[in-house]
Amino acid sequence: MLIINMTIVSISLNDKILKELDSMCTKRGYSGRSEIIRTAIRDMVTNQKEIEEMNGNVDGVLIISNKEKYNEDVSRIRHKYVDLIKIQVHNHMESVDSCLQIFVINGPADKTRSLINDIKTSKKVEYVKMFLV
């Protein structure tokens, strides 16, 4: 019998996220909250490793979502990396008072990592996903 030692980590979640988490557990057949949170963390770690291992010139698509009231903050970050962003699509999603932005990226891996980090660490951005080509 294989015994796996796991450390218990406590986290705080608001009621809305907790309800969404429980709903996902039920819909996707997870045995519980811990299992779905472990899966999410594995996905995040895998994505981060992929970003860290980028080298040379990078092609990719960066998708972000932010509340419309924070467009100026996101724009300031975007302007720092204008040489990386070859195409930008900006769409207002009126039903949720947010903006969806899609950036087609081409440039050095180190600068691309900096862009991703600046976007991911911004409190003004709700969702970030980088797809490497």
CATH number at residue 83: 3.30.70.1150
| pLDDT band per the 50, 70, 90 thresholds, residue 115 | very high
Domain residue limits at 33: 16-50
31 part of a folded domain: yes
Instruction: Identify the domain boundary among 50, 70, 93.
Output: 50
How far apart (Å, rounded) are the C-alpha atoms in residues 13 and 72?
A: 28
Within this chain, do residues 60 and 123 fall inside the same structural domain, yes or no?
yes
The pLDDT value given to residue 5 = 84
* 21-46 confidence digits (pLDDT tens): 999 999 999 999 999 999 999 998 99
Pairing of strands 85-93, 57-67: unpaired
User: Does residue 1 surpass a pLDDT of 80?
Assistant: no
The pLDDT value given to residue 96 = 86
Q: What is the pTM of this model?
A: 0.77
Within this chain, do residues 27 and 70 fall inside the same structural domain, yes or no?
no
The pLDDT value given to residue 80 = 95
Residue 76's alpha-carbon distances to 44, 51, 66, 97, 100, in angstroms, are: 26, 22, 13, 20, 16
User: Does residue 128 surpass a pLDDT of 70?
Assistant: yes
* 51-90 confidence digits (pLDDT tens): 889 999 999 999 999 999 999 999 999 999 999 999 999 9
The total number of structural domains that make up the chain: 2
The pLDDT value given to residue 29 = 93
Report how far Cα 108 is from the mean position of its chain's Cα atoms: 20
The beta strand positions in 16-122, using DSSP E, are 57-67, 85-93, 98-108
Within this chain, do residues 128 and 64 fall inside the same structural domain, yes or no?
yes
